[in-house]
Amino acid sequence: MKICYYPGCTLKNHAKNFEDSTICALNTIGVEVEELSRWNCCGTVFSLTTDDLIHHIAPIRNLIRVKEANYDKVMTVCAMCYNTLKRANERIKSDPESMDILNNFMDREEVQYDGDVQVFHLLEFLKDEIGFENLAKKVVKPLKKLKIASYYGCLLVRPKEIGLDDMENPTILEDLMETLGGKPVDFPYKTECCGAYQTVDRPDIIADRTNRILTSAKDRGAEMVVVSCPLCAFNLDQRQKHTVEKYPEFKHIPVLYFTQALAMALGCPEETLRFDLNFIDPKPILKERGLI
């Protein structure tokens, strides 16, 4: 099986651990990944004002690229890309007038866009196309009951029309962690926003949120947290540095991309897991369990 993949910018630099672990995991289960040969940043956020059509151009152009590559579906891994591409697609599909305006604006594109590309997330692919029960058979290094809290943040689950699971109580990540042999830890902050882009000019707010979210996960017994968004990862992992400055009693906890846990369980070599890019080093706990 071969799938078309849209990486987005952050997976090519700060979140290279997200990309490398994704690709190794998919290859290991026999899925070939074809990255779009040409793509642009999706713009990160979906424009919420009714008249702001221009900002839907960036995501829609990427969907045109998918058609040019002869696919009718595209996989995203970053939660923000997923949300922005899928929402822009739904937005113009439900409004033919705006679709015409955009097509007229993009008059140098050779392909006309009719909303005919489907955007899906890696998690949906694993659950619906591969099936967790089949995935379980490919696990060579079960996670040995490692206690894992799954953090969804906002964009995988909201708004409801776009979300890939229940909006208030999603479980897809926990189900995946269980499939991999881990022990999912439920906690009340799994869909509470980490503060997102406030991290640029208000890292103090992020310190508050990170403290609240991670302390809650730890109080419920978590030994690590998994995420699906490079911005969540930055706020919950790298910003632990600010968090401990503001809250000296705060205790560090490793934050991994869910794909790092996945690739590890599937037996991918350590160089594809790229733990060197995680700020709080997960290696001590993983070594303790004999996982690396």
List interacting residues with other proteins (CB under 8 A).
8-10, 13-15, 41, 43-45, 48-52, 55, 78, 80, 154, 158-160, 167-168, 191-193, 195-202, 205, 208-209, 230-231, 234, 238
**239 contacts: CB under 8 Å, gap ≥ 6:** 199, 203, 206, 207, 210
Report how far residue 247's alpha carbon sits from residue 219's, in angstroms, rounded to the nearest whole number: 16
**Residue 203 CB, nearest approach to other proteins (Å):** 9
Judged by the rule CB under 6 A, the positions of this chain that interact with ligand SF4 are 8-10, 41-42, 44, 78-81, 153-155, 193-194, 196, 229, 231-232
Give the nearer residue to ligand SF4 in terms of CB position, either 173 or 229. Answer: 229
**Residue 9 CB, nearest approach to other proteins (Å):** 5
Where helices occur in the chain by DSSP H, the ranges are: 16-28, 57-68, 79-93, 96-105, 122-124, 132-137, 172-179, 203-219, 230-233, 240-246, 258-265, 270-273, 283-288
Give the nearer residue to ligand SF4 in terms of CB position, either 179 or 235. Answer: 235
Give the nearer residue to ligand SF4 in terms of CB position, either 15 or 92. Answer: 15
Give the nearer residue to ligand SF4 in terms of CB position, either 7 or 143. Answer: 7
Q: Which three-class secondary structure state does DSSP give residue 4?
A: strand
**Residue 159 CB, nearest approach to other proteins (Å):** 6
Give the nearer residue to other proteins in terms of CB position, either 43 or 184. Answer: 43
Give the nearer residue to other proteins in terms of CB position, either 30 or 48. Answer: 48
**Residue 84 CB, nearest approach to ligand SF4 (Å):** 6
**Residue 286 CB, nearest approach to ligand SF4 (Å):** 24
Give the nearer residue to ligand SF4 in terms of CB position, either 78 or 122. Answer: 78
Please say whether the beta carbons of 228 and 156 come within 8 A: yes
Report how far residue 225's alpha carbon sits from residue 52's, in angstroms, rounded to the nearest whole number: 36
**Residue 233 CB, nearest approach to ligand SF4 (Å):** 8
Residue 70 binds which one of ligand SF4, other proteins, none, with CB within 5 to 8 A depending on kind? none
Report how far residue 194's alpha carbon sits from residue 198's, in angstroms, rounded to the nearest whole number: 9
Residue 79 binds which one of other proteins, ligand SF4, none, with CB within 5 to 8 A depending on kind? ligand SF4
Residue 51 binds which one of ligand SF4, other proteins, none, with CB within 5 to 8 A depending on kind? other proteins
E strand or H helix that includes residue 15: none
**Residue 126 CB, nearest approach to other proteins (Å):** 23
249: left (phi over 0), alpha (psi -120 to 50) or beta: alpha
Tell me the CA distances in angstroms from 111 to 11, 142, 182, 186, one per residue in order.
Answer: 27, 46, 45, 46
Q: Of 264, 196, 266, which Cα lies nearest the Cα of 224? A: 264
Give the nearer residue to other proteins in terms of CB position, either 41 or 140. Answer: 41
Report how far residue 194's alpha carbon sits from residue 209's, in angstroms, rounded to the nearest whole number: 6
Residue 167 binds which one of ligand SF4, other proteins, none, with CB within 5 to 8 A depending on kind? other proteins
Q: What share of the chain is helix, strand, coil (3-state, %, to 5)?
A: 45, 10, 45
Residue 118 binds which one of ligand SF4, other proteins, none, with CB within 5 to 8 A depending on kind? none
Q: Of 224, 217, 103, 227, which Cα lies nearest the Cα of 156? A: 227
